[in-house]
């Protein structure tokens, strides 16, 4: 065997063992040899303009492709720039593999370029972190990283690779490549717990299923479908679980967004909550004080977190469904579902009227309805922003798994995720339309990534819901400190479409309702990354703002 550089060994392992085909990155001197390894072993690279976007794209790739997303960033500022994206992945339980450059081991404590203690900084926000000190152990460390990212509850991992080991060559046979381990063991609940859960489900009159990201993991969608169709339980899928069954499924209540969930949960007598945390979004489980709750989660610590459960089933959601299904009775809850539908629709009369009524100035709910009119349910939708996230969540419907993602609505509340997520969606599903609804505030964080989209020919369609302000903040300030004292909340009118045009994409400004659909069609026909900048009603706020304000005002 011939000598092989450490950087090439990284690429070889990832290509040949982990089947990594794509890495999100931004180049840097410390990681040059890994980049050269990608060329050598035919791994595609998407190089971005800010490392935050690389981490976010890899995060999104994990969801859209159901495999670990990999990002490679350089030392120092490359690392710190990626940090927000890594924290977001940590709070979202996503198997993100972060490979990072480092100042040379040789120069520790000498004041080397980009010398900093990256490991201590990353420790609280990753599932596993390590520095590799020996070229020959690179495959071993990578194997550990990929297993740590994916086994049990997934999460981001961080592997630091200094140039001392990347830029030197070793004989290939001295760097053994561990096989990709496929574990045949699994975690599943005890039979008695399963029976308790089945008894509760069989006795329920008004059951509701609430599924989160844990339902979306893995390739066990069919087990969920069998469970739902046998039990007949109305369901809502949120976070990265959205779309495991299509939004237009006969038992889905996704058409009501959060209104349907908030209406149904307090009325349900049994709630089956799978792969979802009872965090602030669900008011820590306090919305349904009288319901009997069955929790399914791979992490036993979640079972009674914030809200005591009647039954806790610890295990992979798909496996639990497959064990539970034979124990439950075939049931029909259509009358309860019909009643629930009528109730939440009665609470949404204004929202439903807004969808079908032309508006001037344009209402964001109307804008989302017009987008749906053009692209329908066989598309991938992403929303990013404060109020904008709510409007996207309430209005977008998709038949595709992860067809509606609202990454800014997750625990970190991370604005700027939209463009990276939409680009990853388009790379993962090149034949489907990918439409991003972006607030004008959140557009600013990663809008330079339109350059990435142009260079790599990633034709996403970004619709800016432009209320000329940090809308959620502005409306919350109006409630708290008064309309005349809003501070740092206005953005003013900006021609984001011209910015995208300047970067080589397609852009249009829309100010009238009747212009929306033609502009969207022209954007799709252009075949370019596109920005349709839609001026919307600045006075409109969303229920999310009210809840956000209430949450922060109760002191």
Among 406, 391, 409, CA closest to 465: 391
Q: Report yes or no: 175 and 136 within 8 Å, Cβ to Cβ.
A: yes
Nearer to other proteins, 49 or 339 (CB): 339
Residues in region 306-325 near other proteins by CB under 8 A: none
Residue found by looking up tokens 């463009």 in the block = 419
Which of residues 348, 369, 383, 436 is near other proteins by CB under 8 A?
A: 348
Instruction: Give helix 138-150 / helix 6-16 axis angle, nearest 10°.
Output: 40
Which of residues 267, 322, 325, 526 is near other proteins by CB under 8 A?
A: 267
Nearer to other proteins, 245 or 340 (CB): 340
Instruction: Give the burial string for 392-411 (b: 16+ CB within 10 Å, else e).
Output: bbbbbbbebbbbbbbbbbbb
Compute the residue count for the chain. 555
Nearer to other proteins, 117 or 349 (CB): 349
Q: Does 391 bind other proteins (CB under 8 A)?
A: no
Which of residues 334, 347, 514, 539 is near other proteins by CB under 8 A?
A: 347
Which of residues 17, 121, 343, 399 is near other proteins by CB under 8 A?
A: 343
Closest approach of other proteins to the CB of residue 392, in Å:
17
Three-state DSSP state, 530 = strand
Burial class (CB in 10 A: 0-12, 13-18, 19+), 344: buried
Closest approach of other proteins to the CB of residue 429, in Å:
34
Residues in region 527-546 near other proteins by CB under 8 A: 543, 546
Closest approach of other proteins to the CB of residue 324, in Å:
28
Closest approach of other proteins to the CB of residue 85, in Å:
31
Among 458, 485, 489, CA closest to 471: 489
Q: Does 356 bind other proteins (CB under 8 A)?
A: no
**Helices (H), ranges, 250-363:** 257-264, 317-324, 334-346, 349-356
Contact range with other proteins by CB under 8 A, out of 121-129, 259-267, 404-412, 497-505: 259-267
Q: Does 547 bind other proteins (CB under 8 A)?
A: yes
Phi/psi at 267 (nearest 5 deg)? -95, -20
Residues in region 448-507 near other proteins by CB under 8 A: 479-480
Closest approach of other proteins to the CB of residue 553, in Å:
4
Contact range with other proteins by CB under 8 A, out of 57-65, 246-254, 338-346, 512-520: 338-346
Which of residues 81, 135, 239, 263 is near other proteins by CB under 8 A?
A: 263
Closest approach of other proteins to the CB of residue 366, in Å:
16
Closest approach of other proteins to the CB of residue 345, in Å:
8
Burial class (CB in 10 A: 0-12, 13-18, 19+), 25: buried
Element (H, E) at 400: none
Q: How many CA atoms lie within 13 A of 219 on its CB side?
A: 3
Closest approach of other proteins to the CB of residue 468, in Å:
21
Nearer to other proteins, 238 or 340 (CB): 340
Nearer to other proteins, 411 or 547 (CB): 547
Residues 6+ apart with CB under 8 A from 553: 480
Which of residues 29, 203, 266, 502 is near other proteins by CB under 8 A?
A: 266
Q: Report yes or no: 272 and 213 within 8 Å, Cβ to Cβ.
A: no
Closest approach of other proteins to the CB of residue 373, in Å:
24
Q: Does 185 bind other proteins (CB under 8 A)?
A: no
Question: For residues 333, 334, 339 and 344, what is the CA-based torsion angle, rounded to 10 degrees?
Answer: 90
Structure tokens at 372: 């749906």
Phi/psi at 488 (nearest 5 deg)? 55, 35
Please work out the total of residues on this chain that contact other proteins, with binding judged by CB under 8 A.
Answer: 25
Query: Site mask, other proteins, residues 101-120, x = CB under 8 A?
Result: --------------------
Structure tokens at 309: 């459960």
Contact range with other proteins by CB under 8 A, out of 22-30, 47-55, 263-271, 436-444: 263-271
Residues in region 47-106 near other proteins by CB under 8 A: none
Closest approach of other proteins to the CB of residue 363, in Å:
13
Which of residues 19, 185, 192, 349 is near other proteins by CB under 8 A?
A: 349
Q: Report yes or no: 349 and 334 within 8 Å, Cβ to Cβ.
A: no
Report DSSP letters for 235-283, one per residue: EEE-GGGTTSS-TT-TTB-GGGHHHHHHHHTTT-SEEEEES---SGGGG
Q: Report yes or no: 463 and 414 within 8 Å, Cβ to Cβ.
A: no
Closest approach of other proteins to the CB of residue 478, in Å:
8
Q: Does 188 bind other proteins (CB under 8 A)?
A: no
Structure tokens at 257: 């967004």
Residues in region 284-303 near other proteins by CB under 8 A: 290
Q: Does 350 bind other proteins (CB under 8 A)?
A: yes
Closest approach of other proteins to the CB of residue 346, in Å:
4
Structure tokens at 91: 């709070």
Q: What residues form DSSP beta bridges with 272?
A: 209, 294
Residues forming the site for other proteins (CB under 8 A): 259, 262-263, 266-267, 290, 339-340, 342-344, 346-350, 479-480, 543, 546-547, 549-550, 553-554
């Amino acid at each position: 065997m011939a000598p092989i550089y450490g950087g090439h060994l990284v690429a070889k392992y990832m290509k040949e063992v982990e089947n990594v085909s794509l890495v999100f990155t931004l180049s840097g001197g410390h990681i040059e040899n890994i980049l050269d390894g990608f060329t050598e072993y035919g791994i595609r690279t998407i190089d971005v303009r800010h490392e935050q976007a690389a981490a976010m794209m890899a995060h999104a790739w994990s969801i859209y492709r159901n495999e670990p997303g990999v990002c490679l960033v350089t030392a120092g500022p490359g690392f710190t720039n990626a940090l927000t994206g890594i924290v977001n992945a940590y709070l979202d339980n996503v198997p993100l593999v972060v490979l990072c450059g480092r100042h040379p081991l040789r120069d520790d404590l000498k004041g080397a370029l980009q010398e900093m203690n990256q490991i201590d900084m990353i420790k609280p926000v990753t599932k596993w972190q390590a520095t590799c000190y020996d070229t020959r152990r690179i495959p071993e460390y990578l194997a550990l990283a990929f297993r740590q990212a994916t086994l049990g509850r997934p999460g981001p991992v961080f592997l630091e690779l200094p140039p001392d080991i990347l830029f030197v060559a070793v004989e290939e046979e001295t760097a053994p490549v561990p096989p990709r381990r496929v574990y045949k063991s699994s975690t599943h609940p005890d039979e008695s717990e399963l029976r308790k859960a089945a008894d509760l489900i069989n006795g329920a009159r008004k059951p509701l299923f609430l599924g989160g990201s844990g339902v979306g993991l893995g390739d066990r969608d069919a087990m969920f479908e069998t469970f739902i169709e046998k039990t007949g339980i109305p369901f809502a899928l949120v976070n990265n679980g959205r779309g495991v069954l299509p939004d237009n499924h006969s038992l889905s209540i996704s058409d009501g967004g959060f209104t349907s969930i908030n209406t149904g949960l307090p009325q349900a007598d049994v709630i089956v909550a799978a792969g979802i945390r009872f965090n602030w979004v669900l008011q820590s489980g306090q919305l349904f004080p009288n319901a009997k709750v069955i929790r399914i989660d791979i992490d036993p610590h979640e079972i009674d977190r914030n809200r005591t459960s009647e039954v806790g089933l610890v295990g992979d959601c798909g496996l639990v469904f497959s064990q539970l299904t034979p124990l439950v009775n075939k049931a029909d809850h259509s009358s309860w579902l019909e009643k629930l539908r009528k109730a939440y629709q009665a609470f949404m009369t204004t929202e439903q009227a807004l969808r079908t009524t032309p508006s001037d100035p344009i209402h964001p709910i109307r804008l989302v309805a017009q987008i749906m009119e053009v692209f329908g349910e066989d598309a991938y939708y992403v929303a990013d922003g404060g109020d904008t996230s709510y409007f996207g969540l309430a209005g977008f419907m998709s038949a595709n798994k992860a067809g509606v993602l609202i990454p800014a609505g997750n625990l970190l509340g991370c604005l700027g995720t939209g463009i990276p997520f939409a680009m990853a969606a388009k790379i993962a599903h090149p034949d489907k339309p990918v439409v991003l609804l972006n607030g004008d505030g959140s557009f600013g964080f990663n809008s330079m990534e339109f350059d990435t989209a142009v260079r790599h020919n990633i034709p996403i369609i970004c619709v800016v819901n432009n209320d000329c302000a940090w809308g959620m903040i502005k409306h919350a300030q109006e409630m708290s400190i008064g309309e005349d004292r809003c501070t740092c909340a206005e953005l003013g009118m900006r021609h984001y479409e011209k910015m995208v045009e300047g970067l080589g994409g397609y852009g249009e400004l829309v100010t009238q309702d009747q212009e929306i659909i033609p502009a969207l069609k022209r954007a799709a026909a252009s075949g370019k990354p596109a920005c349709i900048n839609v001026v919307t009603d600045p006075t409109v706020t969303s229920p999310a703002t009210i809840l956000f304000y209430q949450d922060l005002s109760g002191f």
